[in-house]
Structure 1
Amino acid sequence: MPVKLAHLNSKLSKIILLVFLVILIGLGAVPGYLKGSWRWEKPLSVANLKQIRNLQQTGLNLPGWQTLNQQPIEIGGHKWSFQAMARDAETQAILLLRPMRDDKDMPQVEWVDLRGFRWWKTEQPRQWQRDGFRRSQFTVPSTTAGSQPLQVEAQYFRNWIQDRGFSGTFAVLQWYAWPTGGNPEPSRWFFADQIAQWQGRRLPWVAVSIMIPIEPLGDIEPTWPLAESLGQTVQAALIADPLKPS
């Protein structure tokens, strides 16, 4: 008898979950149905798409940092902004930005593409070696008055390469930035965008990769305060203009 009751409760839980999902889908579909259109026929438009795409050409102005070189480059078939920066004579960094290109563009394999990225000429291209992975969090003040600080999760690791034309080691911080936060996993953006679409809006995104040079095969932990600070500055600059919440 207890076994049958447990089986019944499990079956009932699955039915309740299914009904809940149907209700959520229905809430998203009803407005489109009443207007004679379905949301999956054509995705909602992304606000500020032109400003977001312009990041490829302009890069990002960051307070306290001077841009030494900025140019659009192609990585893995996508246009990125390459931006070499300096805070002072001893503190430099590279900022790579890959903004969404249209309403249907979704985060996918940006981090894989970057393994083949290089800005120097070489006859025998090699991929970056990576180790020391960890997840890191930081917060950024919200642009909405009275709102809680935005939570951003990023992947932090060591990137190094020994090529005929170049050798170097970098502390790397990567995430997908959007108006209400950020995460390195494409699936986290997808679910957040689905919720936004049910509310009649979209969630624009920009792939961010920060590379900070360190000692050859050095430890990345001493560089974390700088990486965190620069990550906060980049996220704040993005949500203040191109990713400004509508």
Structure 2
Amino acid sequence: MLSLTILALATAAPGVPSRAASSLVLAQAPAPGEAQADLAQARALASALRYEEAVVEYQRYLGQPNRPTAERAQALLELGFIHLLLDDTVNAEQRTSEALELDAWVRPPADAPQKHKDLVERVRAMLAARPRLELLPREDASRPKQVRATLRDPQGRASQVMLRHALVPGGPYRAAPMECQEGTCEGELPSPSREASFTAWYFVEALDAQGNTVARAANPLAPLQLAVIEQKPWYESPWVYAGGAALVVGAASVFFIASDPRK
């Protein structure tokens, strides 16, 4: 059961520095575990106006793997507000953005300070206006190398969409432009030396007029993987960080997916 968190703003006693003129009052249901202890410590430090120390503890908690999505999103939202109190707008917006991307429904409690609500709504509007790429399921068996994606770009920031592809894990990645019509983009993974069977790693990104990346579907550290066997799509899967092997039953081939040493 997820812990319940209540954020409220209280007036500080005379003599407290202006940027810490408010305190975070947090109440939560107790829960065991090292990660929960780090989160409880972070909230306690924030309540005591020890914001810089609270930031460290929030980061320690967020470094714990396998925390529930809603819980992580709430912690990120709280950390974003602490950055706001520390006059760090860049990190305040970044943490709030991460919270909303994890859980689009996360929000401050009804009695949260207005400045916190304004931060969340401002970042929510920024995310809504940001270009977004999403890969589409494969639908044409006669075109096994085809890659399709949708582009949502309310402000028209993207000028081109590129299919980045490599024949080995980790690249180097080559680029092929995708053709886009009415928000749907299409491209094909090239066959090496016209071979009928090959494996490719790939991701898709949208670039603005200056060549800056404004949206991605997958990325160089977590690409998608496609194996084409005799011009037919055999499998398509995300990057497997733990490594391992996939065996084709009845065939004399074993395909290994290498782990990413940076993870």
TM-score norm. by structure 1 comes to 0.27
Q: Flag the structure with larger Rg.
A: 2
